[in-house]
Structure formats: C-alpha cells, structure tokens
Amino acid sequence: MFMGTYAPKLDDKGRVILPAKFRSELEAGLVVTRGQERCLYVYTAKEFDNVIARMRDAPVTSKAMRDYTRLFLSGASAETPDAKPGEHPRQSPQLRGPRPRTHRHRGGESRRDLGHRRVGNLLLRAGSRLRRYRGGGDPRNLLTLRSDPQPMSALPHFPGGRYDRMGIRAKVRPGHMTDDAIHIPVMLERCIELLAPALAAEGAVLVDATVGMAGHSEAFLERFPGLVIVGLDRDIEALEIARRRLARFGDRVHLVHTVYDGIRESVMTLGYGRAQGILFDLGVSSLQLDRVERGFSYSKNAPLDMRMDATSELTAERVIAEYPEIELRRIFREYGEEKLAARYAERIVQHRSNAPIITSASLVEIITAATPVAIQRNGHPAKRVFQALRIEVNQELVVLERAIPAALDLLDVDGRIVVLAYQSLEDRIVKRMLMSRSSSSAPAGLPVELPEHRPEFALLVRGAELADDVEKSRNPRSTPVRLRAATRIRRAA
C-alpha cells in the first residue's frame, strides 16, 4: 500500500507522523506492532484480524514461528489517527501514544525506552526512513520503520496458552501444525524461473523428488494450470502433510513413498514415459529439524534416531552402539569432514562400554569433553558428527549417487533439472555429474567431434548459485544452499 520513501519523525507529544495521502485507509483504525529486521508494521484493523486468524494455527513445533509470534503479538497496539480531515486538512495523520521515557546511557547516547509497548517508544535515529518492506514477512504490510536493533523480550511459551495483549488474543493449539506455516520453500522464485520453460505445455510432468511438505510443489501447481506433479519422499509424515496440502489439485498430483533413487521406477509405474522437469531439494527438512523427537538436532535432547523414513531399521543409536571404532572414524571423517574423527570415535567406544549412549545430549556431552577448548570457539563441536550420523543412517550420498543419473536419464529433450544442495559433499556429487553429462565425451585429439560424443546437457547457471540477502533474511535455512541446474539438449545415442 505504501510506495516510496518517507522521513519519519516524532512530534513534541511523542507521536509518529504518517503520510496524509493514506488517511482514508487508516482513519477507521489501525494496529501497530514490531516486526522482522528492526521494522515497525502498521496494519488496518481488518487486515490485522486476518493476520491473527492465520497465526491461531501457528505450529508449536517450530521455534522460529513461536519466537516470531511472541515478538509480533507482544508489541501490538491498537491506535487511531489524531487529526481529522475537517480539522487539519493539510496535516498528516499521527499515531497517538504516550510520551516515551528517555534514558541516558554511557557515552551520552539518549535512547527511548522499548519496555512500554506503544508506538511512541521507538528509537529513532537521524536518517531513519519509512520504507516499503522488501525483505520478507507479510506482503500486505502497510509500512515499516527502520530503527536500531534492540533486545526484544519474549513471553514464556505455554502449550495451549493464549497471548493476550492490547485486546488481541491468539490461541495456540499444542501438537497442531498448519501445512504452510512450518516450511518456507528455499529459492522458490528462482526454481520457478529456471524450470518454467519446460513446464508451460499442457500435461507437462514435474517430478519433485523430495516433495516434503509440498511448498515448492504447491507453488508450481498454482503457476502452471496444466502441470502434473509426481512427488516422492521417504518421510511418511511429510507425505501426509503434502497430501492434505495438495488435495485441492485432485488428479494432477501423485505422491509416492520412496527414496529418490527410485525416481525412474516411480514415474514409469504411473504411466509417464518422460519428465519435463525435475527438482531435488536435498538435505534434512524443516519438519524433521523441528520435530525434536526425530533426533536430528544436537541442540535439543532427544533419542538418537535421525531416520528420515520412520519405517527403516537403522538408527543413529544403533550406529553408535554397534559400529566398530574404525568404521565410526571413517564415517565422521568422510561424511562429516571432521578432523577429530579418530578422537571422537575412540571416546564413544570407551563410553559405550560402560553405559549405552541413547540420547543426543549424552553424545554431545562426550564429544564436547573430547574437544579442545580452542576448537570449541569455532562452532558447536557436535555439528559435523551429527551430520555424519544422519548421512550414514539415511545413506544420503549413496542414494544421491544413484538418483542423479537416473533423473538425468528420465528427462525429455528440452527438459530441465534443478538441484538444491546444503552441504559440500552433496554439492560435489551434483556438480561432478552435471559437468560430466554437459561435456563432450570425444577422445582427446580427435579432429572432429562425432555426434554421439556431443554433450547431452547444457548448464543453466554458472557454477553454483547462492541465496541472496533477502532470501537469507526471510528464510535463514537457505544460507548454505547451492543451486545447480541443467537442460537436456539431445537424447543419448
């Protein structure tokens, strides 16, 4: 709604002045609250009610969503513009609020108190700007106000409790999750841009090889009315969420419980000879990370599970309990690229001889105790070990080695593939295979390249694309992503 750039200021009564041209939208009442990236959000009362309606189903399993909800609701304040059109025809509308308390800090810097949840109590610095928000959040924000970062107090989280601030109430239901609230699709618009030329035709088939909670698939189905989705996933819980989320698209969606190296068999069984688009979103999903009981996180105590497919037999607990020391060392070194692999493997074997290691907290304690203090300053010492265990339990790299060639063989001419990888081991496999299929196979020194030696694929991006700053701000889990893409230019001889 707000377009352009505005210089905000407080009047002598501690009121924020807004552009007069928006009076007609705001005079019926508005709500001001704190938002992301040190911004102030202003909503019409009606639009704020819509936002609250969406937040009522916020998942308690997502820490990021809980933190954002607390921040959003604890700072909300219902306001009305002071001035009326008949009284001050030339004056901009102002937001009423109590005069902020001012405190003197070291260095003579004056700061307004953020403890009182009213709009007048925001810190304004010289050069601050009201601007249209472009960094994520709700696209219907009326305006945002840039200000200094301040520590925001969060309400304690009680499952099933209510947040009650300024007459705003939002009930959180424990154990309930909305299908679209947990998962933010990574680099969604870029994926659509790269795959779109192959998906425009009626009846085009897109294989979402890691459908998860269907964030990407839903967007593709909405953008391309004639598109058919074949969604694969090994996680039964994720497939159930995807099934609910995509139910409105009817027979345009086919979901298959399988690991993605079964991509060819799954597509052929459904009667589709070729695919026009293929998408891989590798790594552990938001659902798996946010479900503490799944055991993927080293920051939360849980059983050592780490299975992406709950029906499989191998767990992280079994790996820790049964693998010999030399095998643990290999896994930590190869899959976690851990320099202290030998030390960690030795300590684990020593401890398990005295008592079983069955929780993530126990394993983290052993690893931390074996890590020199100087190395601990470089990051959590258990990070690479947990990555290695997850890869071993789910055979991620072995499966990926089989899946990428099968996917490339499945693509039709002019079909496209996009792969999102989140750690270097996956990305190296994807890079090697795409480079191999997009290079000539002619022997060195051959004067003329024969047709059968010409590349089958052409790369669509140079190197690996990273998420931009806006994407990282909106979705922090996109920070490590590496995107690669290719298109088939000819069928193999």
For every residue of 16-43, DSSP letters joined together read EE--GGGHHHHTT-EEEEE-STT-EEEE
Looking at the chain, the whole-number percentage of residues with pLDDT higher than 70 is 69
Which has more confidence, 395 or 284? 395
**125 and 202 share one domain:** no
Chain centroid offset of residue 309 CA: 21
Evaluate whether residue 178 is within a structural domain: no
The boundaries of the domain holding residue 328 are 287-394
Instruction: Give the mean model confidence (pLDDT) for residues 185-189.
Output: 94
Do 329 and 345 meet the contact criterion of CB atoms below 8 Å apart? yes
Three-state SS for 180-232 is CCCCCCCCHHHHHHHHHHHHCCCCCEEEECCCCCCHHHHHHHHHCCCCEEEEE
Instruction: Give the mean model confidence (pLDDT) for residues 71-79.
Output: 73
The predicted pLDDT at position 252 comes to: 97
pLDDT band at 136 (very low <50, low <70, confident <90, very high): very low
Residue 116 pLDDT exceeds 50: no
Instruction: Give the mean model confidence (pLDDT) for residues 357-361.
Output: 94
- Of 12-21, 50-59, 365-374, highest mean pLDDT: 365-374
What contacts 46, CB < 8 A, 6 or more positions away?
none
pLDDT band at 64 (very low <50, low <70, confident <90, very high): low
Which has more confidence, 359 or 168? 359
The predicted pLDDT at position 353 comes to: 94
The domain that contains 382 carries what CATH number? 1.10.150.170
The predicted pLDDT at position 87 comes to: 47
Mean pLDDT of the chain: 77
The predicted pLDDT at position 268 comes to: 95
Do 474 and 39 meet the contact criterion of CB atoms below 8 Å apart? no
**388 and 402 share one domain:** no
Structure-derived torsion over alpha carbons of residues 264, 268, 274, 276, reported in degrees to the nearest 10: -70
**94 and 207 share one domain:** no
Element (H, E) at 268: helix 263-269
The predicted pLDDT at position 43 comes to: 78
Evaluate whether residue 179 is within a structural domain: no
**471 and 375 share one domain:** no
In the listed set 368, 394, 420, which residue is the last one of a domain according to the structure?
A: 394
**90 and 228 share one domain:** no
Closest C-alpha among 257, 266, 180, 270 to residue 217: 180
Question: Which residue(s) pair with 94 in the sheet?
Answer: 17
Instruction: Give the mean model confidence (pLDDT) for residues 237-243.
Output: 94
Do 389 and 311 meet the contact criterion of CB atoms below 8 Å apart? no
Tokens representing 150? 């301040």
The predicted pLDDT at position 448 comes to: 72
| Pairing between β-strand 110-112 and β-strand 102-104 as defined by DSSP bridges | antiparallel
**245 and 353 share one domain:** no
**245 and 115 share one domain:** no
Residue 293 pLDDT exceeds 80: yes
Q: Encode pLDDT of 368-388 as tens digits.
A: 999 998 888 888 999 999 999
**364 and 259 share one domain:** no
pLDDT band at 54 (very low <50, low <70, confident <90, very high): confident
- Give the angle subtended at the CA of 224 by the CAs of 219 and 228, to the nearest 5°: 90
**60 and 71 share one domain:** yes
Which has more confidence, 287 or 418? 418
Q: What's the number of domains the chain is made of? A: 3
Evaluate whether residue 182 is within a structural domain: no
Do 40 and 117 meet the contact criterion of CB atoms below 8 Å apart? no
- Give the angle subtended at the CA of 257 by the CAs of 251 and 263, to the nearest 5°: 85
**Residue located via tokens 């010409």:** 454
Note the residue count of the chain: 493
Q: Alpha-carbon distance 378 to 46, whole Å?
A: 48
Q: Alpha-carbon distance 6 to 129, whole Å?
A: 6
Q: Alpha-carbon distance 268 to 354, whole Å?
A: 51
Q: Alpha-carbon distance 439 to 454, whole Å?
A: 7
Residue 400 pLDDT exceeds 60: yes
Tokens representing 123? 């810190």
Please report, as a single letter, which amino acid is at residue 182. Answer: I
Largest CA distance in the chain: 87
Evaluate whether residue 176 is within a structural domain: no
The predicted pLDDT at position 73 comes to: 74
Instruction: Give the mean model confidence (pLDDT) for residues 301-311.
Output: 92
pLDDT band at 46 (very low <50, low <70, confident <90, very high): confident
Instruction: Give the mean model confidence (pLDDT) for residues 114-141.
Output: 35
The predicted pLDDT at position 63 comes to: 62
Which has more confidence, 115 or 429? 429
Q: What are the strands, taking DSSP E only, across 234-328?
A: 253-257, 275-281
Q: Alpha-carbon distance 331 to 336, whole Å?
A: 7
What phi, psi does 24 have (nearest 5°)?
Answer: -60, -30
- What is the SS3 assignment for 416? strand
**413 and 376 share one domain:** no
What phi, psi does 168 have (nearest 5°)?
Answer: -100, 125
Do 363 and 357 meet the contact criterion of CB atoms below 8 Å apart? yes
Element (H, E) at 348: helix 341-352
Evaluate whether residue 180 is within a structural domain: no
- What is the SS3 assignment for 70? helix
Residue 30 pLDDT exceeds 60: yes
**33 and 154 share one domain:** yes
Residue 277 pLDDT exceeds 50: yes
> Which of 232-241, 243-252, 309-318, 370-379 has the lowest average pLDDT?
370-379
Instruction: Give the mean model confidence (pLDDT) for residues 112-123.
Output: 36
Evaluate whether residue 72 is within a structural domain: yes
The domain that contains 248 carries what CATH number? 3.40.50.150
- Give the angle subtended at the CA of 384 by the CAs of 188 and 299, to the nearest 5°: 80
**In angstroms, how far is the first alpha carbon of the chain from the final one?**
56
Q: Alpha-carbon distance 24 to 223, whole Å?
A: 34
Looking at the chain, the whole-number percentage of residues with pLDDT higher than 90 is 52
**144 and 68 share one domain:** yes
Which has more confidence, 278 or 73? 278
Evaluate whether residue 61 is within a structural domain: yes
Evaluate whether residue 402 is within a structural domain: yes
Q: Alpha-carbon distance 394 to 401, whole Å?
A: 13
Q: Alpha-carbon distance 370 to 450, whole Å?
A: 58
